[in-house]
Structure 1
Amino acid sequence: MAASERNERRPHTRRSRFSRRMVVVGAALAAAAATTVACSTEEEPLPSIGYMIDNTVTGYNANTVDGAASGAPQALARVLPGFGYVGPAGRVIADTDIGTATAVPGEQLTVQYRLSPGSVYSDGVPMSCDDLVLTWAAASGRFTESDESGAESNLFDAALRGGYADIERIDCAPGSKDATVVFRPGRGDTDWRSLFGATALMPSHVAARASGVTDLVGVLTGDDADAVRPIAEFWNTGWTLTPGALDPTLLPSSGPYRIESYTAEDGLVLVANERWWGNPPGTDRIVVWPRGTAAQTAAEEGQVQVVDSADGALGHTSALGETVDAATVVSRNLEQLILATNGVFENPAARRALASCVPRQQLFDELGAATDDERSGPVGSRLLPIGSPLYPLVSGPSERFDTADLDVARTERERSGQERIQVRIGYTAPDMRRARTVELIAQSCRDAGIDVVDAGSETFLPSQLDSGEIDAVLSGTAGVSGAGGRADMEDARSALNSRAGSNIGGYANGRIDEILAGLLVAGDNATVLGLAEEGERILWDEMPTLPLFLQPRTIGFAPNMHSAVANPTAAGAGWNMDRWILTG
């Protein structure tokens, strides 16, 4: 990330408590992010900044199903950067500190990636194209295995799929700084710039060493699934982050910060990476306070200067008092119910029954109406953002689900063949806002013969939906518990692909897969509209997910914080933490 792009100062807002609400419009954020402001002060910068988020951080690898749903993308974006990052407007911006990505003219989309000459991990091992090959192999779905029943699954527990599946090959001489990525004929993906971005590139030399593979590139570009299996096994589980039990040899950094320690008492401590080749970070030490740490104590003791949370998700944010200047913003994150497609919800009629008794408008009015922003209201599309000029043309099928209709809910329940339905809704707890959401749904659905159970838990994982421990997940875009969403909606769309790990409900529809593939390469509005219209008709009938509203997020910075810009997307407030400077 070029320093000039990240060296921002947050627009002035008067000091307030967390109850104050304010719209931050995407265009205004983009303008703020494009402005460089010099930070000069006679006051001495403070050596450490505390950053509190409303999610857990349980792994170094933010690309697994559980890792992508965790707070790792927000906590580690400047520990494991990539060729791009999600800016405040929700769009991908090139990160030239890591290298350059240039499309090469030709019939097939071909992109030349070139890592910066000085790019090196904190353990002294140079970054190389091997890192890109590992990312592609994990996310592309190239390596699968079948169980005894013949069901096929990916060797890599990767959350995303998207454009990685469209890559035909990567030309990479092991250890080289250059990689040529060639896409399949006819697959000129419009979102290729989002590939190999922040937290996507993992240290391939660690995976090779841990799995005992000497020629990682050769194995991953071949077709031998058995040879790939040990790499996949480590990639899936080898980068677990357990407070108090870190192995630093597994955690080399490629960014301006590296992990120094992680304990429940002292949080996730990031310190300046001595081998970083770009501009040094403005503050040498950032302490991330995720769920599961002593965040409340830290807040009470004045150790938190930045907060990024869904509005009302963290009950102890009030302990911050006047130490932060906070605003509630409408984010890119879609609050939604993700429904299982087996068990009580195997029949789509059962899923429609629940959707028919969920009071979407009431939920928005009480829990989602952060402002009078034009994007407000129950969300009517899973495929297009509310701000798109095409959105009103595709959101029609959602309107019959805006308000609860118990007669329809009963009819659909009976059509599913069930006398009563019990629905266990899981989410990361404690969370007062989501607890209230479940409470209101339970009150509304009871008389329709649908019993809703609050299954929120401190140990919640999205994968519990697949294992049958719960029937629905209450979360954000692509199953994330905390910050989420992008302007291009690709993460939301990918979560509906039958082969994507982020499709935690197991929804499978061949035509939807074709529509999603078409949207990846659609270059004109007429094509996008035709695909999205058809897709929404199918999705509102089969109901794999129930969109609720754009999630309001409370983002706050200490009054004397410099270069801090709110980012209500998947990147979170920490998107440019290496530019933060706090003066006393």
Structure 2
Amino acid sequence: MKFARSRSVGALIATAFLLASCSEAGEEPTSHQTSHFGYAVNSSLSTANAASLKGVATEAGLLAARLYPAVYVQGPSGQMIPNTDLASAQVLPGINRQVIYTINAEAKYSDGQPVVCDDFLLSATAAQMPGTFNSAVPLTSQIERVDCVSGSKTATVVFKEDQGERWRYLFDQGTVLPAHAIAAEAGLALEELNTALHNKDAATLEPVARIWNEGFQLENFNPALQVSSGPYKIESVGEFGEVKLIRNEFYSGDQAVEEEVTMWPKGSDLNAIATAGNLQIADVGAWENEAWVNRDDPMSPYDIKEEVGVLTEQLTLGSAGVFYSPEARQAFAACVDQQAVAAASSRVSGIEVPAVAVHSVRHQNPVVQQLGDLPAQHLAVDTNAASALAGQTIRIGYDGPDERKAAMVEAIRVSCEPAGITVVDASAGEVSLSDLSRTIVSEWGYEQYAEGTLDAVLRAVDPNREYGSANSLGSDPEATRKTEEELWTEVPSIPLAAQPRVFVIDRTVGNVVVNTDLSGIGWNMDRWSRSED
């Protein structure tokens, strides 16, 4: 439904723009006259909460990166850039690593309220209580506690013994949300929320968790709740899912160059939007499918950048239902042909991407070449081993519609069919990891089961952030191999292939720097600058 409506809005915008242009002193509209700065992403733009189960399944970081910036921003070369506009970090070594976060004295939200340690405490605690909050930030399992006096500008994170090597990947884009606004929505004072978070008081936190999880979804945009700490804030969400961003005048860093940016979700009629002059940057699945992009047209205003991305596309498997046991997950992994899946992705995108058989490090990390035959073992198809799952049906979903991902699922269907396993493409638009059949472990260690509509979700992940068991920076072959062996035994997910990325960039826009990370090309959106001609 969203796809059809989005196509309609593009036509409406084009028509309205052309009529307005013609009415001005009888002037003829030009093909590149612009009224809105448009940025299209290959995401449904469902939520600004990148730590929620919906956020991680729909790449919410593409939107959230400039609303709720990370403590460390990952640059286009993989460098971790300290974001001192938000906070600075000091590491105290020891058996229990400690990281002291000193929040910028000037850091405020777009409602004028200060960024405080309660925001960091909420971020960590919400992630450590996935059953209550429906969250997914695996690295927080390495945290022992967060020390925070309510309202303070200092938060100290204490890690479990010999843990926390990947601490720079914590407090990532879209995960440090406004605790004061959430508390107010729940009818709590900030100090009361702080106490409940420290105590992990599930009863008190239940309404907080509901607001944290659902309140940042954009279908019911609440401006009092979704206040921003970044250079942009959301002004409005359009009828067809477009998100209008405007400058956050309270931002502690340099003000954004462009006063406003409209982000368009996947399924929008980009041809109509571009024809109206309202599309400057696009992150698309394949440029050949876009009628508005013609690489051979000398008058085209666009450059095309094709990249083998740093993210890994994987199947995140359910932990209940057909995939309750590790043996069942191992059997399914045995029939998945990553080479065929990568070939299908490459064919549709036009970018040759490699198959991937490692979980915990990025596919281009040199350590992969030092893991011996381990990756090759898990690239091979073993129909006999997979036949242990014969007779089962596996439902795979993804953030759709997506022709490339549909082709990837079809490749999995073909390779698993000889083992007697039926693979079904169950994509139906927006997706969430909450759609999976899951085993939820309570704070007291009890298992609960949630019956879902899916058995696996196809999504892009950053291996540096994805696994709580990973405790090296990917430079230690022995530690990496040990982690990989554990993950291939447990099989919470099946790595498939590198993510292809296609960016279409208007030549009149400066300071655009391609980035294939979770925040995408919009990682420095506030520095984009459009020339007048």
Q: Residue in 1 aligned with 2:521? A: 573
Q: Residue in 2 aligned with 1:340? A: 318
2:72 to 64, 75, 84: 84
SS at match of 1:248: coil
Q: Give the letter aligned to residue 446 of structure 1.
A: E
Question: How far 1:199 moved relative to its partner?
Answer: 1.9
Q: Residue in 2 aligned with 1:282? A: 257
Q: Residue in 2 aligned with 1:507? A: none
SS at match of 1:155: helix
Q: Residue in 1 aligned with 2:433? A: 462
Asked if structure 2 preserves the Cα contact closer than 8 Å seen for 1:46 and 1:582, the reply is no
CA distance in structure 2 between the aligned counterparts of 1:203 and 1:220, rounded to whole angstroms: 14
CA distance in structure 1 between the aligned counterparts of 2:241 and 2:131, rounded to whole angstroms: 37
CA distance in structure 2 between the aligned counterparts of 1:303 and 1:186, rounded to whole angstroms: 51
Question: How far 1:301 moved relative to its partner?
Answer: 2.8
CA distance 1:241–1:450, shift in 2 (3 Å): same
Q: Residue in 1 aligned with 2:466? A: 492
Asked if structure 2 preserves the Cα contact closer than 8 Å seen for 1:53 and 1:71, the reply is no
1:256 to 231, 249, 254: 231
1:475 to 452, 459, 469: 459
Give the gaps of 5 or more residues in structure 2. 1-32, 295-299, 438-450
CA distance in structure 2 between the aligned counterparts of 1:165 and 1:401, rounded to whole angstroms: 27
CA distance in structure 1 between the aligned counterparts of 2:195 and 2:80, rounded to whole angstroms: 31
Q: Residue in 2 aligned with 1:423? A: 394
CA distance in structure 1 between the aligned counterparts of 2:428 and 2:184, rounded to whole angstroms: 36
Asked if structure 1 preserves the Cα contact closer than 8 Å seen for 2:86 and 2:107, the reply is yes
The yes-or-no answer on 1:157 pairing with 2:157 is no
SS at match of 2:500: strand
Q: Give the letter aligned to residue 156 of structure 1.
A: F
CA distance in structure 2 between the aligned counterparts of 1:274 and 1:400, rounded to whole angstroms: 54
Q: Residue in 2 aligned with 1:553? A: 501
The yes-or-no answer on 1:327 pairing with 2:305 is yes
Q: Give the letter aligned to residue 165 of structure 1.
A: S
Asked if structure 2 preserves the Cα contact closer than 8 Å seen for 1:49 and 1:304, the reply is yes
Q: Residue in 2 aligned with 1:5? A: none
Query: What per-residue deviation string (whole Å, max 9, x for no partner) do you get for residues 487-545 of structure 1?
Result: xx332324xxxxxxxxxxxxxxxxxxxxx1xx42x4895xx433432343344455443
Question: How far 1:316 moved relative to its partner?
Answer: 5.6
CA distance in structure 2 between the aligned counterparts of 1:446 and 1:223, rounded to whole angstroms: 46
Question: How far 1:263 moved relative to its partner?
Answer: 0.9
Q: Give the letter aligned to residue 194 of structure 2.
A: V
CA distance in structure 2 between the aligned counterparts of 1:140 and 1:278, rounded to whole angstroms: 30
Question: How far 1:278 moved relative to its partner?
Answer: 1.8
The yes-or-no answer on 1:438 pairing with 2:409 is yes
CA distance in structure 2 between the aligned counterparts of 1:131 and 1:306, rounded to whole angstroms: 32
Question: How far 1:430 moved relative to its partner?
Answer: 1.8
Q: Residue in 2 aligned with 1:170? A: 146
1:237 to 199, 208, 214: 214
The yes-or-no answer on 1:205 pairing with 2:180 is yes
Question: How far 1:350 moved relative to its partner?
Answer: 4.8
CA distance in structure 1 between the aligned counterparts of 2:318 and 2:150, rounded to whole angstroms: 42
2:283 to 295, 308, 315: 308
CA distance 1:155–1:524, shift in 2 (3 Å): closer
The yes-or-no answer on 1:182 pairing with 2:158 is yes
Q: Residue in 1 aligned with 2:205? A: 228
Asked if structure 1 preserves the Cα contact closer than 8 Å seen for 2:107 and 2:114, the reply is yes
CA distance 1:226–1:460, shift in 2 (3 Å): closer
Query: What per-residue deviation string (whole Å, max 9, x for no partner) do you get for residues 149-203 of structure 1?
Result: xxxx6322221031x333333333322222233334433x222222223322111
1:271 to 204, 222, 246: 246
CA distance in structure 1 between the aligned counterparts of 2:58 and 2:97, rounded to whole angstroms: 32
Q: Give the letter aligned to residue 468 of structure 1.
A: G
CA distance in structure 2 between the aligned counterparts of 1:199 and 1:284, rounded to whole angstroms: 21
CA distance in structure 2 between the aligned counterparts of 1:159 and 1:524, rounded to whole angstroms: 21
CA distance in structure 2 between the aligned counterparts of 1:545 and 1:218, rounded to whole angstroms: 35
Question: How far 1:209 moved relative to its partner?
Answer: 0.6
SS at match of 1:319: coil
SS at match of 1:318: coil
Query: What per-residue deviation string (whole Å, max 9, x for no partner) do you get for residues 120-152 of structure 1?
Result: 2111212211211111221233xxxxxxxxxxx
Q: Residue in 1 aligned with 2:341? A: 363
SS at match of 2:37: strand
Query: What per-residue deviation string (whole Å, max 9, x for no partner) do you get for residues 433-475 of structure 1?
Result: 1122222333343343222222121133332222331222222
Question: How far 1:293 moved relative to its partner?
Answer: 4.9
1:140 to 110, 124, 128: 128
CA distance in structure 2 between the aligned counterparts of 1:198 and 1:460, rounded to whole angstroms: 20
SS at match of 1:552: strand
Q: Residue in 2 aligned with 1:26? A: none
Query: What per-residue deviation string (whole Å, max 9, x for no partner) do you get for residues 56-101 of structure 1?
Result: 1222322111122224211121122232212112342111111311
CA distance in structure 2 between the aligned counterparts of 1:579 and 1:55, rounded to whole angstroms: 22
Q: Residue in 2 aligned with 1:17? A: none
SS at match of 1:120: coil
Asked if structure 2 preserves the Cα contact closer than 8 Å seen for 1:330 and 1:551, the reply is yes
CA distance 1:365–1:236, shift in 2 (3 Å): closer
For residues 124-135 of structure 1, the aligned pairs below 5 Å read 124-135=112-123
Query: What per-residue deviation string (whole Å, max 9, x for no partner) do you get for residues 23-57 of structure 1?
Result: xxxxxxxxxxxxxxxxxxxxxx9774211111112
TM-score (norm 1): 0.75
**Cα RMSD (Å) of the superposition?**
2.9
For residues 505-516 of structure 1, the aligned pairs below 5 Å read 516=469
After superposing the two structures, state which structure 1 stretch, 89-98 or 554-563, moved more: 89-98
Give the gaps of 5 or more residues in structure 1. 1-44, 142-152, 478-484, 495-515
